[in-house]
Amino acid sequence: MFTLKTNPDFLNLCSKYILREKISVTGTNGKTTTAGLIAQILEANKKEVIHNAQGANMLTGIANVFATTVVPSKRYDNCVLESDEAYLSKLYDYMKLDYLVVTNLFRDQLDRYGELDTTAKKIQSAIDKNKDLILLLNADDPLVANLGHDNKKLFYGFENIEFAGKHTISQAPAEMFNCVCGKPLEYSKRFYAQQGHYYCSCGYKRPECDYQANAKIYDDYIEISVLHDGKETHYTFDSIGLYNAYNALAAISMALEIGYTQEEIQNALNTYKAMFGRAEKTEFNGHKTIIQLIKNPAGASEVLKTVDLSSKILIAINDNFADGRDVSWLWDAEFELLKDTEKTIITSGIRANDMALRLKYAGVPTEKIKVVPDLYEAVEEASSSEDKDEKITIMPSYTALLQIKNYKRG
């Protein structure tokens, strides 16, 4: 913040070093992965990109990225900036951007963000500061689709989704939304949470998509086809879950919008490495491990659908400020999906006991629940088997994820 206090025009000055599109990404879930995918597509096609890749998405973090990256004698092609929903308006006070990609709006950390309409109003207030901003919006999310008044709006969304593996549409509770006329929205298709094909008897309905997609979700990869301007293109993405299909579609749509070809996009998807903790595949003490951040009911429920029930499972929940002090969301996430786990589930972190209680009420046998509050000890416990073929699934909240990042992996 010192940089902006001493030079409030710092980010605006830095933007003059960027020759092409300046892209911002926000939303409750998926903004780190979506921004990372967009940056990867640009970089794989030989573009110089400024990107807050470590997820420092508040104003100070973004300013720091520019302060440590920009070289006065150099020019950059693009910037891709992930922004916290609550800080987007502040970012636009200091810097004018060309595009805003909005992924979704879910109930998240009520003690920090308030209700969903509050978050939507914060994003709208940011949009109102830049009438030239082009919006790329998730048409399947009714809150997101209603953003923007005078701005140019482009929409992406799924027409159909097919599950080719063991997972199906989530049964987790969904937020209820009313149309602007006051009547509850109805759905002809609901994909997850409030995302789907919605309509109202007054005539209001989900907008037509500029980037119409279909997805086939396998257990370990995703196939996506996108129809745009009468041309259909096809992609594969080495990741898991419907939520990552949405992230990939947002990035693909952005890349198509600014002129990249199917081949250029696919080549970038082939070399993409997951951001830390976002369906990241790694190893702990010789065991293949997947780490998936969980932080709210909708996102956690989608992650839980992808869990290998034959793996050793570690769930680490903290309630620090960055996590949100209110952990009542644990009771709305679909932890019932873990009740048939084959091995022990370890709970850890500050709220390890709360998590253990939630698993008990989700139907997980108590003899398969082990509480290990110290996170490093919990990781050691999860990776202690001599059978190196045993896989590990780790689901941490945000600050627990940061702790795991510092764990020395064997």
Residues 6 or more apart from 28 whose CB is under 8 A from it?
85, 103, 104, 105, 106, 108, 119, 296, 298, 299
From the CA atom positions of the chain, what is the Rg in Å?
A: 21
140 is catalytic: no
Distances 62 to 5, 109, 143, 311 between C-alpha atoms, Å: 14, 22, 26, 37
> What span, in angstroms and rounded, lies between the C-alpha atoms of 290 and 278?
9
Please answer whether residues 178 and 125 qualify as being in contact, where contact means their C-beta atoms are separated by less than 8 angstroms: no
Residues 6 or more apart from 156 whose CB is under 8 A from it?
136, 137, 138, 139, 209, 210, 211, 213, 249, 250, 253
Given the residues 9, 326, 340, 374, the one annotated as active site: 326
> What span, in angstroms and rounded, lies between the C-alpha atoms of 119 and 103?
13
Residues 6 or more apart from 45 whose CB is under 8 A from it?
260, 264, 268
Residue type at position 96: K
Residues 6 or more apart from 312 whose CB is under 8 A from it?
287, 343, 344, 346, 382, 383, 385, 390, 391, 392, 393
Positions marked active-site:
326
